A = this chain, B = another copy of it.
Amino acid sequence: MVYIYDTTLRDGAQGKGVSFSLEDKLRIAMALDDLGIHYIEGGWPGSNPKDMAYFEEVKKIKFKNAKIVAFSSTKRAKIKIEDDKNIQTLIEAETPVITVFGKSWDLHVKEALRIPLEENLELIYDTISYLKKYTDEVFFDAEHFFDGFKDNPEYSLKALKAAEEAGADCIVLADTNGGTLWYETEKIIEKVKREINAPLGIHAHNDSDMAVVNSLIAVKKGAIQVQGTINGLGERTGNANLCSIIPNLVLKMGIEAISRENLKKLYSVSRLVSELSNRPHPDNLPFVGDSAFAHKAGVHVSAVEKNPRTYEHINPELVGNKRQIMVSELSGRSNIINKAKELGIELSKDSPAVKKVLEKIKYLESQGYQFEGAEASFEILLKEALGKTKKYFELKGFRVLTEKRSENEEAYAEATIKVEIPEEIAEEKGLKERVEHTAADGRGPVEALDKALRKALEKFYPNLKEVKLTDYKVRILNETAGTEASPRVLIESTDGKDKWGTVGVSPNIIEASWLALIDAIKYKLMKDEEKNK
């Protein structure tokens, strides 16, 4: 049995360009819990008021599987622990688990902390024994352990022993600089196991492209906790990639970590983290990349389908991924039938609607659409193809003007829009006027258009007033096409009760935003109508 400890929200968040909002962190925490992750490390309360806000909010959530962990350094030297604000804030976070990292490399104690070697051991001991009084589990993260062991094995072991004596529930060996090769990891852990009785964990970094194997070797040598991040997110070359580690443990090494049932959620958790960290989802990621099981057109397709073992190392569905056979009808169809079922629509495999939807999706995907994080757009597409939805309004034109009058004046924007509602709906609502032609302004063109659109439609559909846009993301596809590249806009909206994601793609960024906005509105109108039936 291996415990999976996720630090996507803390160590992972140090990845280049990653900036999780509070909303993002809670969404990811819940997805990780649903996946069956055992520990979710969410931040360093003492370092950052934003992190403290996360710990306050996360207390309100009832988790099924995961325990919430707060992270911190050891206490500062030369002050009493009761006066150490960092440690006190840690306790205020009231998490069931706390992880404390400390120095186990003498070089660091001398050059970074600049305190006597003996005093560092006291810091470790004092911090852990103190915190044990305030929380259920305390883990010790031995920073730079492998380098420390190579330089001065006795000292590094003393650091571990200090933690063990203080009552640490798990001692995690960190390869902080990421430079350790697999055979070194193996030897070192064997030696540690001879000296330390406390349960061991591993926290690897990928600087030598070794993080996954270092983590798995540690497990083979007796570690019971693996720390890593989804997609290997993290600074420099990233943390150990849980999306490679977990399938290898469960499907290949026969080691219990998360259930096979939960493992099927891996792909979608991986996609969610890519979306929220605003990084393109690398298509070549093992297990969870979109190309991980992509077989080239024409080559052995029938062999793969008859006997997948000939060309696939595992069945993609075990991790929630799917086989991609470039251009093949078979897998596309079942995907749509399954999704329709989830939405309460029964479709038969041979139904022409399925073929139509499949073609539409393939076309849209070739244009850059993706429906991860934009399920509402998918649902609209499906229902429109099945004729299960109605037209709520028609665009009769919009114009958005952006002007910047001189270098020193800020740019601003004005949008005009004309929309028309269908006759039947006007009759239903007892309205004479079917057209609304209005204008709005804003600092930017998308803001102006959004305001104008709502202004126009709220006249006919007052319930739209409840809708707020909570997230607006832009991803430029084929970036090397310069300004002719296609933007994909992903929007998240809420009406206070539900949340839904929609998408729009167009070489024109305002049009891309438009498409995502109108899907968001259609979805709200569809949703409310179904509820009122």
Contacts and interface: CB of A to CB of B under 8 A. Distances in A.
Interface of A: 14-17, 19, 21, 23, 107-108, 111-112, 177-179, 181-183, 206-210, 212-213, 216-217, 220, 232, 235-238, 241, 244, 248, 252-253, 278, 280, 282-287, 289, 291-294, 296, 300, 303, 306-307, 309-314, 370, 372, 394-407, 410-413, 442-447, 450, 468-485, 487, 506-511, 513-514
Given A399-B401, A510-B445, A311 B177 contact: yes
A221 to B, nearest CB: 11
Contacts of A291: 16, 235-237
14 contacts: A14-B296, A16-B283, A16-B372, A107-B310, A177-B312, A183-B220, A210-B213, A235-B296, A237-B284, A282-B282, A395-B406, A400-B445, A410-B508, A444-B511
B471 A480 contact: yes
A397 B402 contact: no
6 closest Cβ pairs, A-B complex: A179-B313, A209-B244, A469-B482, A444-B508, A411-B511, A447-B483
A406 B179 CA distance: 58
A519 to B, nearest CB: 13
B510 A402 contact: yes
A499 B445 CA distance: 30
A444 B178 CA distance: 44
Contacts of A278: 475-476, 479-480
Contact of A292 (B108, B207, B210, B294): B207
Contact of A16 (B232, B294, B482, B506): B294
A265 to B, nearest CB: 19
A75 to B, nearest CB: 18
A185 to B, nearest CB: 11
Contact of A398 (B213, B306, B404, B471): B404
A474 B476 contact: yes
B469 A303 contact: no
A244 to B, nearest CB: 4
A360 to B, nearest CB: 16
B404 A395 contact: yes
A280 to B, nearest CB: 7
Nearest to A478: B21
A405 B397 contact: yes
A311 to B, nearest CB: 6
A103 to B, nearest CB: 11
Nearest to A235: B296
A228 to B, nearest CB: 11
Given A183-B220, A248-B181, A310-B111, A403 B398 contact: yes
A487 B474 contact: yes
Contact of A411 (B236, B253, B289, B510): B510
Given A17-B475, A411-B514, A235 B182 contact: no
Contacts of A287: 207, 209
Contacts of A487: 444, 474
Given A286-B237, A509-B445, A208 B244 contact: yes
Given A183-B220, A209-B286, A294-B16, A472 B485 contact: yes
B400 A310 contact: no
Contacts of A405: 397
A209 B483 contact: no
Contact of A23 (B300, B397, B480, B513): B480
B107 A309 contact: yes
